[in-house]
Amino acid sequence: MVSRRQIESRLAAQAGTAARRVRTAEGARLRGDHDFDVTLIEADMGNRRPAAVLVPLVERAEGFTVILTQRTEHLPDHAGQVAFPGGRVDATDADAIAAALRETEEEIGLARAHIEPAG
């Protein structure tokens, strides 16, 4: 079983590398569905927009669990997909973490006060 300390240690080891660049958008490689489906590389990539997700790990006696959502079928993008809570980074968001926290509260009602961002 993975411990909280192990997770925090691995995230801390990433400080100053890719994780920080993504948060600050300095030299970040754009990530998306095309990472897993090469046929999407040919698609119109001009419609990309900054987005952020939260990977909510819930610590329980038997170990960690992850909260996932299922998008409704009527949405124009990613309908029916199972996903982490998250979405578009708005102009009012201080950074990607703020966007992920806001979107999580909007989508699943988990208040920011109950979340401890780890990385």
What percentage of the chain reaches a pLDDT higher than 70?
71
pLDDT tens readout for residues 45-89: 566 778 899 999 999 999 999 999 999 999 887 889 999 999 999
Query: Is position 11 within any domain?
Result: yes
pLDDT value of position 19: 47
Residue 100, domain extent: 4-114
- Decide if 14 contacts 53 (C-beta within 8 A): no
User: Does the pTM exceed 0.85?
Assistant: no
| CATH code assigned at 22 | 3.90.79
Mean pLDDT of 11-32: 58
Quick check: is 119 in a domain? Answer: no
Domain total of the chain: 1
- The sign of the torsion formed by the CA atoms of 107, 110, 113, 114 equals negative
Beta strands in 1-119 (DSSP E): 51-53, 57-60, 63-66, 69-70, 82-83, 86-88
Residue 48 lies in a domain: yes
Q: Which residues are 60's β-sheet partners?
A: 63
Domain assignment of residue 80, yes or no: yes
- Displacement of CA 81 from its chain's centroid (Å): 14
Asked whether residue 18 is domain-assigned, the answer is yes
